[in-house]
């Protein structure tokens, strides 16, 4: 991955609908070069997908909640049952297996507290895989992004470039060399 790929990724994170022509203008390459690079990044799995970001409040999903879930028993079968439960809930936006007190952290978007109560009391708590749930309702969102940090990619590129050093030759005169 070089600087052009990093610029291409940054531009696509800003606007995934950029045409190859517009992308080429931003990155400083020809449209055909951008097209080839984009296709290569897609093929490599670096670019996973393109999608529209919808507004939860505009769609009436006014409550964002994080639910910590502790399983009833720790076994592969119980984990699979819980994963199946989560997969079947449209309200679940993200779910993570964790270390620490809770086994899972689940992020949901729901229209109101009544909907949240229904999911917690009628879906999570009676489920055979679940022992305990603890929910935290979001009061205010301080930051939301789907952007991934790319700064470290430039750092990796710089670290991979050999450093030039100045060493003295047998006569004591400086000479350039690569370490």
- pLDDT in the model for residue 179: 44
- pLDDT in the model for residue 58: 96
In 3D space, the residue among 91, 101, 94, 93 whose CA is nearest the CA of residue 68 turns out to be: 101
Half-sphere exposure of 166 (CA within 13 A, CB side): 3
Global pTM exceeds 0.75 = yes
Separation CA 39–CA 71 (nearest Å)? 42
Please give the CATH topology (third level) of the domain spanning 1-52.
Arc Repressor Mutant, subunit A (1.10.10)
Is 57-137 a domain of CATH 3.20.20.150?
Answer: no
In 3D space, the residue among 25, 23, 48 whose CA is nearest the CA of residue 36 turns out to be: 23
- pLDDT in the model for residue 46: 95
Phi, psi at 165, each rounded to 5°: -125, 160
- pLDDT in the model for residue 153: 86
Could you report the per-residue pLDDT of 72-106, keeping only the tens digit for each?
999 999 999 999 999 999 999 999 999 999 999 99
Contact (CB, 8 A) for 36 and 93? no
Give average pLDDT by consecutive 10-residue segment, the chain, 179 residues. 91 92 93 94 94 92 97 94 96 96 97 97 96 96 90 68 52 51
Domain definitions of the chain by residue range: 1-52, 57-137
């Amino acid at each position: 991955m070089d600087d052009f790929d990093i610029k291409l990724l940054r531009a696509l994170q800003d606007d995934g609908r950029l045409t190859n022509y517009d992308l080429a203008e931003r990155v400083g390459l020809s449209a055909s070069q951008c097209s080839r690079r984009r296709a290569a990044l897609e093929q490599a799995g670096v670019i996973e997908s393109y999608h529209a970001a919808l507004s939860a409040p505009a769609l009436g999903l006014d409550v964002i909640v994080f639910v910590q879930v502790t399983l009833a028993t720790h076994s592969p079968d119980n984990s699979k049952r819980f994963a199946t439960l989560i997969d079947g809930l449209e309200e679940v936006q993200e779910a993570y297996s964790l270390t620490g007190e809770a086994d899972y952290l689940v992020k949901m978007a729901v229209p109101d507290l009544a909907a949240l109560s229904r999911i917690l009391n009628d879906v999570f708590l009676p489920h055979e895989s679940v022992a305990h749930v603890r929910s935290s309702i979001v009061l205010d969102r301080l930051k939301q992004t789907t952007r991934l940090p790319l700064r470290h990619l430039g750092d990796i590129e710089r670290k991979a470039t050999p450093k030039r050093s100045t060493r003295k030759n047998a006569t004591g005169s400086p000479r350039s060399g690569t370490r």
